[in-house]
Amino acid sequence: MRLAKYLAHAGVASRRAAERIIEQGRVRVGEEVVRDPARDVSEREVVTVDGATVKAQESGLAVYAVHKPAGVVSTASDPQGRPTVVDMVRTGERLYPVGRLDAPTTGLILLTNDGDLAYRLTHPSFEVPKTYRARVKKGPIPDRALRQLREGVRLDDGLTSPARARRVAPDEIELTIHEGRKRQVRRMFEEVGFPVASLQRVAFGSLALGALPAGSHRRLNRAEVAALTETAKARKPAAKRARPSGARH
Ligand code: URA
Protein backbone atom coordinates (compact mmCIF):
# COMPACT_ATOMS: atom_id res chain seq x y z
CA MET A 1 0.00 0.00 0.00
CA ARG A 2 1.19 3.53 -0.75
CA LEU A 3 2.60 5.32 2.27
CA ALA A 4 0.08 8.21 2.26
CA LYS A 5 -2.80 5.76 2.03
CA TYR A 6 -1.28 3.63 4.82
CA LEU A 7 -1.17 6.68 7.13
CA ALA A 8 -4.73 7.67 6.20
CA HIS A 9 -5.96 4.12 6.85
CA ALA A 10 -4.24 4.14 10.22
CA GLY A 11 -6.14 7.31 11.12
CA VAL A 12 -3.08 9.58 11.29
CA ALA A 13 -4.51 12.22 8.94
CA SER A 14 -6.51 12.61 5.77
CA ARG A 15 -4.68 11.41 2.67
CA ARG A 16 -3.79 14.91 1.54
CA ALA A 17 -2.57 15.91 5.01
CA ALA A 18 -0.57 12.65 5.15
CA GLU A 19 1.12 13.58 1.88
CA ARG A 20 2.24 16.89 3.38
CA ILE A 21 3.51 15.18 6.55
CA ILE A 22 5.55 12.80 4.39
CA GLU A 23 6.95 15.59 2.21
CA GLN A 24 8.03 17.43 5.37
CA GLY A 25 10.33 14.50 6.14
CA ARG A 26 8.50 13.51 9.33
CA VAL A 27 7.90 9.90 8.32
CA ARG A 28 10.33 6.98 8.50
CA VAL A 29 9.91 3.50 7.13
CA GLY A 30 12.31 1.45 9.21
CA GLU A 31 15.32 3.72 9.65
CA GLU A 32 14.85 5.57 6.39
CA VAL A 33 13.20 9.00 6.11
CA VAL A 34 10.76 8.68 3.18
CA ARG A 35 9.54 11.80 1.39
CA ASP A 36 7.67 10.03 -1.38
CA PRO A 37 3.94 9.61 -0.55
CA ALA A 38 3.67 6.93 -3.26
CA ARG A 39 6.37 4.69 -1.73
CA ASP A 40 4.96 1.18 -1.21
CA VAL A 41 4.94 -0.11 2.36
CA SER A 42 4.06 -3.57 3.55
CA GLU A 43 2.29 -4.53 6.77
CA ARG A 44 5.59 -5.89 8.10
CA GLU A 45 7.46 -2.59 7.92
CA VAL A 46 7.63 -0.25 10.91
CA VAL A 47 6.34 3.22 10.07
CA THR A 48 6.89 6.16 12.41
CA VAL A 49 5.64 9.76 12.34
CA ASP A 50 7.70 12.23 14.39
CA GLY A 51 9.30 9.18 16.03
CA ALA A 52 6.01 7.56 17.15
CA THR A 53 5.14 4.18 15.70
CA VAL A 54 1.99 4.11 13.59
CA LYS A 55 -0.17 1.10 14.30
CA ALA A 56 -2.02 -0.42 11.40
CA GLN A 57 -5.70 0.23 11.97
CA GLU A 58 -6.93 -2.09 14.68
CA SER A 59 -10.62 -1.42 15.00
CA GLY A 60 -11.38 -1.96 11.31
CA LEU A 61 -13.23 0.30 9.00
CA ALA A 62 -15.97 2.26 10.78
CA VAL A 63 -18.52 4.52 9.12
CA TYR A 64 -21.22 6.41 11.02
CA ALA A 65 -24.31 8.14 9.70
CA VAL A 66 -25.05 11.32 11.63
CA HIS A 67 -28.22 13.41 11.45
CA LYS A 68 -26.71 16.88 11.78
CA PRO A 69 -28.94 19.49 13.42
CA ALA A 70 -28.75 23.14 12.39
CA GLY A 71 -25.95 25.11 14.08
CA VAL A 72 -23.52 22.18 14.28
CA VAL A 73 -20.46 22.56 12.06
CA SER A 74 -19.13 19.71 9.97
CA THR A 75 -15.41 20.36 10.36
CA ALA A 76 -13.48 18.25 12.89
CA SER A 77 -12.83 21.34 15.03
CA ASP A 78 -14.14 24.89 14.97
CA PRO A 79 -12.06 27.97 15.84
CA GLN A 80 -15.28 29.67 17.00
CA GLY A 81 -15.98 26.85 19.45
CA ARG A 82 -19.27 25.75 17.90
CA PRO A 83 -20.30 22.10 18.36
CA THR A 84 -19.02 19.80 15.60
CA VAL A 85 -20.38 16.62 14.04
CA VAL A 86 -17.31 14.82 15.38
CA ASP A 87 -18.32 15.86 18.95
CA MET A 88 -21.65 14.12 18.32
CA VAL A 89 -20.01 10.69 17.94
CA ARG A 90 -17.76 9.92 20.86
CA THR A 91 -16.33 6.48 20.18
CA GLY A 92 -12.66 7.05 20.92
CA GLU A 93 -11.89 6.60 17.23
CA ARG A 94 -10.35 9.36 15.17
CA LEU A 95 -13.18 10.25 12.80
CA TYR A 96 -13.23 12.37 9.67
CA PRO A 97 -16.34 14.07 8.29
CA VAL A 98 -17.05 12.97 4.71
CA GLY A 99 -17.44 16.36 3.03
CA ARG A 100 -19.25 19.31 4.51
CA LEU A 101 -22.70 20.68 5.19
CA ASP A 102 -23.19 24.38 5.91
CA ALA A 103 -23.93 25.13 9.57
CA PRO A 104 -27.66 25.85 8.93
CA THR A 105 -28.09 22.72 6.75
CA THR A 106 -29.49 19.66 8.50
CA GLY A 107 -29.43 16.00 7.56
CA LEU A 108 -27.10 13.18 6.63
CA ILE A 109 -23.36 13.47 7.03
CA LEU A 110 -21.01 10.51 7.25
CA LEU A 111 -18.01 10.16 9.55
CA THR A 112 -15.33 7.54 9.07
CA ASN A 113 -12.04 6.52 10.63
CA ASP A 114 -10.64 5.93 7.11
CA GLY A 115 -9.26 9.21 5.78
CA ASP A 116 -8.76 7.59 2.38
CA LEU A 117 -12.42 6.59 2.08
CA ALA A 118 -13.47 10.11 3.17
CA TYR A 119 -11.28 11.54 0.44
CA ARG A 120 -12.64 9.23 -2.26
CA LEU A 121 -16.26 9.78 -1.35
CA THR A 122 -15.86 13.55 -1.66
CA HIS A 123 -13.48 13.84 -4.60
CA PRO A 124 -15.49 15.42 -7.46
CA SER A 125 -14.31 12.86 -10.00
CA PHE A 126 -16.25 10.08 -8.23
CA GLU A 127 -19.46 12.05 -8.71
CA VAL A 128 -21.20 10.54 -5.70
CA PRO A 129 -24.87 11.61 -5.85
CA LYS A 130 -26.14 13.71 -2.97
CA THR A 131 -29.86 14.38 -2.51
CA TYR A 132 -31.26 17.43 -0.77
CA ARG A 133 -34.74 18.64 0.17
CA ALA A 134 -34.89 22.41 -0.25
CA ARG A 135 -37.85 24.44 0.96
CA VAL A 136 -37.88 27.90 -0.55
CA LYS A 137 -38.86 31.18 1.07
CA LYS A 138 -41.52 32.08 -1.48
CA GLY A 139 -43.25 29.36 -3.48
CA PRO A 140 -44.76 27.98 -5.52
CA ILE A 141 -41.77 27.02 -7.62
CA PRO A 142 -42.62 27.22 -11.34
CA ASP A 143 -41.70 24.59 -13.97
CA ARG A 144 -39.26 27.09 -15.50
CA ALA A 145 -37.12 27.03 -12.32
CA LEU A 146 -37.27 23.22 -12.14
CA ARG A 147 -36.05 22.98 -15.73
CA GLN A 148 -33.15 25.35 -15.01
CA LEU A 149 -32.12 23.32 -11.96
CA ARG A 150 -32.17 20.14 -14.08
CA GLU A 151 -30.36 21.51 -17.09
CA GLY A 152 -27.70 23.55 -15.31
CA VAL A 153 -27.47 26.88 -13.55
CA ARG A 154 -24.76 29.42 -14.32
CA LEU A 155 -22.98 30.20 -11.03
CA ASP A 156 -19.95 32.44 -10.60
CA ASP A 157 -17.73 29.32 -10.61
CA GLY A 158 -19.31 27.88 -13.77
CA LEU A 159 -22.33 26.01 -15.07
CA THR A 160 -23.67 23.26 -12.81
CA SER A 161 -23.94 19.72 -14.22
CA PRO A 162 -27.32 18.20 -15.05
CA ALA A 163 -29.24 17.39 -11.87
CA ARG A 164 -32.42 15.58 -10.91
CA ALA A 165 -35.14 17.81 -9.52
CA ARG A 166 -38.65 16.89 -8.50
CA ARG A 167 -41.33 18.85 -6.74
CA VAL A 168 -42.41 17.32 -3.42
CA ALA A 169 -44.61 20.28 -2.38
CA PRO A 170 -45.43 23.62 -4.04
CA ASP A 171 -42.51 25.24 -2.17
CA GLU A 172 -40.24 22.18 -1.79
CA ILE A 173 -37.89 20.46 -4.26
CA GLU A 174 -35.86 17.29 -3.99
CA LEU A 175 -32.60 17.89 -5.83
CA THR A 176 -29.87 15.35 -6.60
CA ILE A 177 -26.46 16.69 -7.62
CA HIS A 178 -23.17 14.93 -8.34
CA GLU A 179 -20.89 17.85 -7.65
CA GLY A 180 -19.99 19.47 -4.35
CA ARG A 181 -19.16 23.10 -4.77
CA LYS A 182 -19.33 25.44 -1.84
CA ARG A 183 -22.98 26.31 -0.93
CA GLN A 184 -23.94 24.85 -4.28
CA VAL A 185 -27.60 24.06 -3.62
CA ARG A 186 -28.29 27.39 -1.94
CA ARG A 187 -26.60 29.25 -4.80
CA MET A 188 -28.51 27.27 -7.44
CA PHE A 189 -31.84 28.17 -5.87
CA GLU A 190 -30.82 31.82 -5.44
CA GLU A 191 -29.84 31.95 -9.10
CA VAL A 192 -33.22 30.64 -10.29
CA GLY A 193 -34.96 33.24 -8.10
CA PHE A 194 -36.08 31.13 -5.12
CA PRO A 195 -33.78 31.51 -2.10
CA VAL A 196 -33.78 28.54 0.27
CA ALA A 197 -35.57 28.78 3.61
CA SER A 198 -34.35 25.40 4.86
CA LEU A 199 -32.11 22.69 3.45
CA GLN A 200 -31.75 19.06 4.45
CA ARG A 201 -29.55 16.34 2.94
CA VAL A 202 -31.63 13.17 2.72
CA ALA A 203 -29.19 10.83 0.94
CA PHE A 204 -25.50 10.41 0.28
CA GLY A 205 -24.53 7.86 -2.37
CA SER A 206 -26.28 4.58 -1.59
CA LEU A 207 -27.31 5.69 1.89
CA ALA A 208 -30.56 7.43 2.89
CA LEU A 209 -31.10 9.46 6.07
CA GLY A 210 -34.29 7.48 6.71
CA ALA A 211 -35.79 7.79 10.19
CA LEU A 212 -32.56 8.61 12.03
CA PRO A 213 -33.63 11.27 14.57
CA ALA A 214 -31.99 14.71 14.47
CA GLY A 215 -28.90 14.82 16.68
CA SER A 216 -28.36 11.06 16.68
CA HIS A 217 -26.02 8.71 14.86
CA ARG A 218 -25.62 5.02 14.05
CA ARG A 219 -22.78 2.84 12.90
CA LEU A 220 -23.32 1.46 9.42
CA ASN A 221 -23.48 -2.31 9.02
CA ARG A 222 -21.15 -4.25 6.76
CA ALA A 223 -23.45 -4.28 3.76
CA GLU A 224 -23.92 -0.51 3.96
CA VAL A 225 -20.18 0.08 4.26
CA ALA A 226 -19.52 -2.28 1.35
CA ALA A 227 -22.03 -0.41 -0.83
CA LEU A 228 -20.40 2.93 -0.03
CA THR A 229 -16.91 1.56 -0.62
CA GLU A 230 -18.06 0.29 -4.01
CA THR A 231 -19.36 3.77 -4.85
CA ALA A 232 -15.95 5.19 -4.03
CA LYS A 233 -14.28 2.65 -6.32
CA ALA A 234 -16.63 3.20 -9.22
CA ARG A 235 -14.61 5.92 -10.90
CA LYS A 236 -10.92 6.55 -11.10
CA PRO A 237 -9.97 10.18 -10.53
CA ALA A 238 -9.42 11.66 -13.98
CA ALA A 239 -5.99 13.29 -14.12
CA LYS A 240 -7.08 16.13 -16.33
CA ARG A 241 -10.42 16.94 -14.79
CA ALA A 242 -10.10 20.20 -12.86
CA ARG A 243 -11.31 20.25 -9.28
CA PRO A 244 -13.85 23.09 -9.04
CA SER A 245 -12.55 25.73 -6.68
CA GLY A 246 -14.09 25.43 -3.25
CA ALA A 247 -15.29 21.86 -3.93
CA ARG A 248 -16.10 20.27 -0.64
CA HIS A 249 -19.31 18.27 -0.38
N1 URA B 1 -25.30 22.80 -0.74
C2 URA B 1 -25.46 23.87 0.06
O3 URA B 1 -25.75 24.98 -0.41
N4 URA B 1 -25.29 23.70 1.37
C5 URA B 1 -24.97 22.53 1.95
O6 URA B 1 -24.83 22.45 3.16
C7 URA B 1 -24.82 21.42 1.09
C8 URA B 1 -24.99 21.58 -0.25
The CATH number for 213's domain is 3.30.2350.10
Q: 188 and 155 in one domain?
A: yes
- Mean pLDDT score, 112-129: 87
| Catalytic-residue membership of 156 | no
Longest C-alpha distance within the chain, in Å?
Answer: 67
Q: 112 and 133 in one domain?
A: yes
Residue 175 pLDDT exceeds 70: yes
Cβ-contact 142, 193 below 8 angstroms: no
Residue 39 pLDDT exceeds 60: yes
Q: 160 and 78 in one domain?
A: yes
Predicted confidence band at 157 (pLDDT cuts at 50, 70, 90)? very high
Ligand 1 close to Cβ of residue 183 (< 6 A)? yes
**What's the half-sphere exposure (Cβ side, CA atoms, 13 Å) at 67?**
12
Distance 187 CA to ligand 1 centre (A): 9
Q: 27 and 86 in one domain?
A: no
Q: 82 and 200 in one domain?
A: yes
The average confidence (pLDDT) of the chain is: 88
- Mean pLDDT score, 156-162: 96
Q: 127 and 140 in one domain?
A: yes
Tell which of 54, 77, 94 closes a domain.
54
Predicted confidence band at 240 (pLDDT cuts at 50, 70, 90)? very low
Residue 233 pLDDT exceeds 90: no
pTM comes to 0.75
| Residue of 102, 116, 143, 156 marked catalytic | 102
Count: domains in the chain: 2
- Domain enclosing residue 33, as ranges: 3-54
Looking at residue 235, what is its pLDDT?
A: 60
